[in-house]
Amino acid sequence: MIATDSTVAHYLKSKSSALHGAVEKSMGAQRIFSESYSKSEYAKLLQRLHTAHYMLEPIIYDFKSIWQYPELDLEKRLSKAALLEQDLDALGQKPKTQTIDVHIAHEAEAWGALYVMEGSSLGGMVILKQLKTLQWAEEAFTYYNCYGSDTGPMWRLFLACLEQTAEQNGFKRETMLMGVLKAYGVYMQTH
């Protein structure tokens, strides 16, 4: 499924693009493409991603409509905090505990938050390619390579389910957008 102007995905992307850019800037995403990007910067990024996933995954996990699509393989999609722990361990780091108040109030918001997390996996393929070019690079890429060659198909499947659940459940785009904004808010609050 391609996100055309009429899709929920296009709406969510267009309405949250400024915040998406702010999150990327806050997390130093552009630094990854610098030859001077350091192992310690990478570890800090992984710590922040771990906090976001650690806070969001269990909340999303509890919403029933997320589970109406067994083909989404939600056990895999909602276990990225554990993958980040593996990567941190490979770098000799332990995950740092940070509590962020997150209130996802509606099924539609849960789908919006999952949209952010899945979009991060899609973008991770570009990041992974760059990280592998750095001299210090190790095999601490479990998170960024979580879907491997299935990343594109898994993203398209997620988008199809997102559209279908919005239509079948009568989810308002604005409510789904609230979930997107709340998820980005969690990423912004990490340190």
Hey, is 47 helix, strand or coil?
A: helix
pLDDT for 174: 97
Tokens of 75: 């056990």
**The dihedral sign for the CA sequence 158, 164, 169, 171:** positive
State the angle between helix axes of 39-61 and 173-189 in degrees (0 to 180), rounded to the nearest 10. Answer: 140
- 31-82 pLDDT, tens digit per residue, is 999 989 999 999 999 999 999 999 999 999 999 999 999 999 999 999 999 9
In a domain, 37, yes or no: yes
Q: Is residue 69 part of a domain?
A: yes
Please report whether residue 15 resides in a domain.
yes
Which residue ranges of the chain lie beneath pLDDT 50? Answer: none
Domain contains 88: yes
CB atoms within 10 A of CB 165: 20
Q: What is the pLDDT of residue 136?
A: 84
Domain count for the chain: 1
Q: What is the CATH number of the domain that holds 129?
A: 1.20.910.10
What dihedral do alpha carbons 158, 164, 167, 171 form, nearest 10°?
-30
Torsion of CA 79, 88, 35, 19, to 10 degrees: 40
> What pLDDT score does 5 carry?
66
Place of tokens 């989810």: 171
Residue 128, in any domain of the structure: yes
**Alpha-carbon separation of residue 121 from 5, 25, 82 (angstroms):** 22, 17, 14
In one-letter notation, the amino acid at residue 8 is V
Q: Name the CA dihedral angle for 7, 13, 15, 21, rounded to a multiple of 10 degrees.
A: -170
Q: Does 68 map to a domain?
A: yes
Q: Is residue 2 part of a domain?
A: no
Under DSSP, the state recorded for 33 is G
Which pLDDT belongs to residue 67?
Answer: 93
Compute CA distances 190 → 8, 122, 135, 147, 161, whole Å: 27, 21, 27, 24, 29
- Indicate whether 1 belongs to any domain: no
State which residues form the domain around 165. 8-189
Q: Choose among 33, 146, 10, 6: nearest CA to 86.
A: 146
